[in-house]
């Protein structure tokens, strides 16, 4: 195991490349379930069109049925009145009943008009529901494909991560355990970036300018120097 800090840091820089990649892939992987949930929610929402079309259709069918029953009741009533009409004794009674029959027949024709209008509405609603059903089938196909794609992506990411973790094992034993554990601690708290080069006299992680003394010490590479602002380990790559 090389002991000079700059030698250690060289190995750590290789490890950081791998860890940075692992971090990025893990983030992508952890986003997949959320993505799938979003696909599910979008698909659920796309069912609303059909639901509302079916509710509308049901409503018109119900109204049509009500009107038809009302018409039937009135027709029976008229039949009954007509049968009684000739049994009546007085002209007065006869005229009254005739008037009632006339009124009832007028109501019937209004009902018949309503029923025709409702039949039209039912047909229109049926066509709308069929169209919604067809569009929903398309949405379902897209939804299933998107879920499949996300699952496939997850599998690929998981296997890439596993391969990188395997690769990482070759570097870890060559780093001082104390340095390694500090590096890994920073890695966790600083979004997968623990070791950064000095760039234009600034920290390559948080981009804060570094004091001359710090720059000097990093350049010497005799001990481990961390950025005072973001706590990442600094190294000299220029």
- Residues of this chain that bind Zn ion (CB under 5 A): 203, 205-206, 227, 229-230
Q: Which tokens sit at 58?
A: 């049901």
Q: How far is the CB of 25 from Zn ion (least distance, A)?
A: 24
Q: How far is the CB of 171 from Zn ion (least distance, A)?
A: 23
Q: Closer CB to Zn ion, residue 48 or residue 201?
A: 201
Give me the long-range contacts of 15-18 (CB less than 8 A, separation at least 24).
15/168, 15/171, 15/172, 15/175, 15/183, 15/195, 16/183, 16/193, 16/194, 16/195, 18/164, 18/167, 18/168, 18/171
Distance in angstroms (rounded) separating the CA atoms of residues 58 and 134: 19
Q: How far is the CB of 214 from Zn ion (least distance, A)?
A: 10
Q: Closer CB to Zn ion, residue 149 or residue 231?
A: 231
Collapsed DSSP state (helix, strand, coil) of residue 236: coil
Q: Closer CB to Zn ion, residue 67 or residue 190?
A: 190
Q: How far is the CB of 18 from Zn ion (least distance, A)?
A: 21
Q: Closer CB to Zn ion, residue 115 or residue 205?
A: 205
Distance in angstroms (rounded) separating the CA atoms of residues 154 and 161: 10
Distance in angstroms (rounded) separating the CA atoms of residues 117 and 54: 18
Q: Which tokens sit at 80?
A: 């009954």
Q: Closer CB to Zn ion, residue 157 or residue 194?
A: 194
C-alpha count within 13 angstroms, C-beta hemisphere, residue 38: 7
Q: Closer CB to Zn ion, residue 79 or residue 207?
A: 207
Q: How far is the CB of 46 from Zn ion (least distance, A)?
A: 47
Q: How far is the CB of 234 from Zn ion (least distance, A)?
A: 8
Q: Which tokens sit at 134?
A: 């067809």
């Amino acid at each position: 195991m090389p002991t000079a800090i700059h030698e250690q840091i060289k190995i750590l820089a290789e490890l950081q490349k791998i860890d940075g990649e692992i971090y990025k892939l893990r983030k992508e992987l952890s986003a997949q379930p959320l993505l799938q949930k979003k696909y599910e929610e979008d698909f659920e929402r796309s069912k609303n069109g059909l639901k509302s079309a079916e509710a509308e259709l049901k409503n018109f069918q119900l109204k049509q049925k009500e009107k038809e029953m009302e018409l039937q009741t009135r027709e029976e009533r008229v039949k009954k009145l007509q049968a009684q009409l000739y049994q009546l004794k007085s002209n007065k009674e006869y005229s009254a009943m005739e008037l009632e029959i006339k009124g009832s027949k007028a109501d019937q024709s209004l009902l018949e008009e309503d029923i025709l209008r409702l039949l039209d509405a039912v047909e229109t609603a049926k066509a709308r529901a069929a169209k919604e059903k067809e569009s929903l089938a398309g949405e379902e196909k897209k939804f299933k494909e998107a879920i499949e794609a996300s699952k496939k992506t997850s599998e690929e990411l998981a296997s890439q991560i596993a391969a990188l973790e395997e690769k990482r094992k070759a570097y870890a034993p060559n780093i001082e355990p104390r340095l390694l554990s500090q590096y890994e601690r920073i890695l966790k708290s600083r979004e997968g970036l623990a070791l950064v080069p000095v760039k234009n006299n600034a920290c390559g992680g948080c981009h804060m300018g570094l004091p001359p003394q710090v720059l000097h010490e990093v350049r010497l590479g005799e001990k481990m120097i961390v950025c005072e602002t973001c706590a990442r380990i600094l190294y000299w790559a220029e």
